[in-house]
Amino acid sequence: MTIHTESPFQVMAKPIGPRCNLDCKYCYYLEKEDLYSQTKRFEMPAEILETYIRDFITSQANLKGTDIWFNWQGGEPTILGVDYFQKIVDLQAHYAPKGKKIRNALQTNGTLIDNRWARFLKENNFLVGISIDGPEEIHDLYRYDRAGRASFAKVMAGYELLNKYGVEHNILTVVHRDSATRPLEVYRFLREIGAQFIQFIPIVERSSGAQKLAPAPQIDEDRVEYKVTPWSVLPRTYGRFLTTIFDEWVQRDVGQVFVQFFDMQLGLFMGQPASLCVFAETCGQGLALEHNGDLYACDHYVYPQFKLGNITQKPIDILANSPEQKEFGNAKRDTLTQQCLGCDIRFACNGGCPKHRFLKSKDGEPGHNYFCRSTTHFVKHAGPTLQVMANLIRAGRPATDIMKIIRQGQAENRSHSGLQAQSIGRNAPCPCGSGRKYKHCCGAHSVNR
């Protein structure tokens, strides 16, 4: 069988399905068990696993780059055990093409990581994403097991083992309504435990008050009056969460701690295309694969209406490049509200994730993003600083020079960050050190472009 891929795509494979040993209050994926109510055992069978690995490798073999990435999620994938993942590694080695390197990313809650797991992950060069929401009090607010027991101690034990064995890892931090009001407490804790790569994930879900969460806005045919859940982060609070952490990060941690949201925004200010679907003009290149081979348009769209097919019945690249999936991805761009289309900072979000487009715009148009205020607040606050950083990089200087510039600005009694646009005269020397006037340098690339 020959497989040809028209465009690159990634798959979030869930060999364990939605099964998890935790019962986090805010988790949107646990209820996906209802989609497979007849399933007694959530585990991707060997024949489907081999089909996926073989066909995905083949679909990526002729693309540019040397790495082929597999992303394993759940549920909690470590429930399957080390032996199951050893089979995965063995299959990958069997089908690996010459000149390509197979890489694996594993998302885990960390509670089941022991010495054997940590040794396996290190030996096989896995990149691990571990979920830590902050210090114990904050983490345990919503992350507990099915008996209601706190998970922080087990998570930190697993995290320490990852460090002990030198496993490459990132930290994923869900930002909920409570933690959003304590930004520095969260950030400083993560920094103190040695976090180098941090991904903040703002949580927002809707409910009618019943047990089940609201579906995606695009399939809300019943037009039920949904309200955001009590744990959902508030837009303005999340905006302040980001700017508060940014002000601390940009003064002392640039080059030492990498925050995905800040890195992504810096790239956008440099005119680079967004590598993360949330900020990209279109989406549809990050699919979700369930334990039985069902392929869905996106991890946030695991609903029957967005099921593309099953990889045992049709090759994965055909499904990923189907007209239905292309339409799904293009809809991110084609369904923007007029408020979005006329926004001068649209480049910084491109309307955000369609799953979060359930508000009305200022003109009453449905389909506006819940996090619009968050992004607007952040970009208006951090934009001048990000523009200076972008210009530093363009000039061949390290982004870390921003910290020196800020210290100089503070010494001259400027604003707290030294780079707020209103504190720099248009005819003053640009703080990026170019020697040009601010109005002809960073000031010429304001966020109001």
Please say which residue of 334, 360, 376 terminates a domain.
Answer: 334
Which of these is catalytic: 253, 294, 299, 317? Answer: 299
Domain count, the chain: 2
The question of whether 299 is a catalytic residue gets the answer yes
Count CB-CB contacts under 10 A for residue 352: 21
Q: pLDDT per residue over 146-157, tens digit each?
A: 999 999 999 999
379 shares a domain with 242: no
pLDDT of residue 426: 61
pLDDT of residue 5: 45
Assess if residue 276 is contained within a domain.
yes
Assess if residue 421 is contained within a domain.
no
384 shares a domain with 321: no
pLDDT of residue 337: 98
Q: pLDDT per residue over 97-131, tens digit each?
A: 999 999 999 999 999 999 999 999 999 999 999 99
Please say which residue of 303, 334, 365 terminates a domain.
Answer: 334
Assess if residue 117 is contained within a domain.
yes
pLDDT of residue 223: 60
- Which structure tokens are listed for 420? 């707020």
For the chain, which ranges sit under pLDDT 70? 1-7, 210-211, 220-224, 413-429, 431-435, 437-440, 442-449
Return the CATH number at 197: 3.20.20.70
132 shares a domain with 119: yes
Q: Choose among 347, 304, 297, 345: nearest CA to 321.
A: 297
CA distances from 112 to 42, 124, 151, 436 (A): 17, 18, 11, 56
156 shares a domain with 38: yes
pLDDT of residue 58: 95
Instruction: Confirm if 56 and 62 have CB atoms less than 8 A apart.
Output: no
Q: Which domain holds residue 105?
A: 10-209+216-334
pLDDT of residue 222: 58
Instruction: Please give the model's pTM, rounded to 2 decimal places.
Output: 0.91
Please say which residue of 290, 317, 334 terminates a domain.
Answer: 334
344 shares a domain with 195: no
Sign of the C-alpha dihedral computed for residues 320, 321, 324 and 328 taken in this order: positive
> Rounded to whole angstroms, how far apart are CA atoms 126 and 69?
10
